[in-house]
Structure 1
Amino acid sequence: MDKEPFENEEWVQALNMICESKAEEMRLIGYEQVTADDIWRCVSSKYEKTGIPPLHKLVNDVLSLKATALMNYMTIAAYKGSPFQY
């Protein structure tokens, strides 16, 4: 079996940087309270049952995340009582 091209620490650093970039984009369009953790929770929630996909899929999902999808996720999470820090 081929070794995974990214070790866990590299994945974490790369994904954190990408999530922070997306959070900054959201702040620029008026969603000032959005954090990188909010972005990650929204994107990773899609993989709770199937497991984490390859890195390229994660990057695509983060970078293509729309503000409406994030706000829908955060609203539903708030109704369910999930912890979001505002």
Structure 2
Amino acid sequence: MSDTSATPEDVRHVADLARVDLDEAEVDEFAEQFADILGYFDALDEVPHVDREVDLVNVMRPDEERECLTREDALRNAAETEDGYFKGPNVS
């Protein structure tokens, strides 16, 4: 794909960082795959740079203050409540 290469040492280093044990066949296979992946990054260098001004526009609506639910209304459809709060399953 490109002249970019990944050595078996590079693969072993990445595998060591990821705490992955690889045998020699896997190291060779991943070296080829790493080279292909790095080739894709090389292709990004060929994309032309476009100069333009970025017009940022806020697409969010402004916050509106509204009356909130009462505690009773909020808890009305809850499966379980306790002391005026939602009650969920115990997490151990």
TM value normalised by structure 2: 0.28
Kindly indicate which of the two structures has a greater share of residues assigned to helix: 1
- Which of the pair has more CA radius of gyration? 2
Kindly indicate which of the two structures has a greater share of residues assigned to strand: 2
Greater RCO, CA 8 A, separation 6+: 1
TM value normalised by structure 1: 0.30
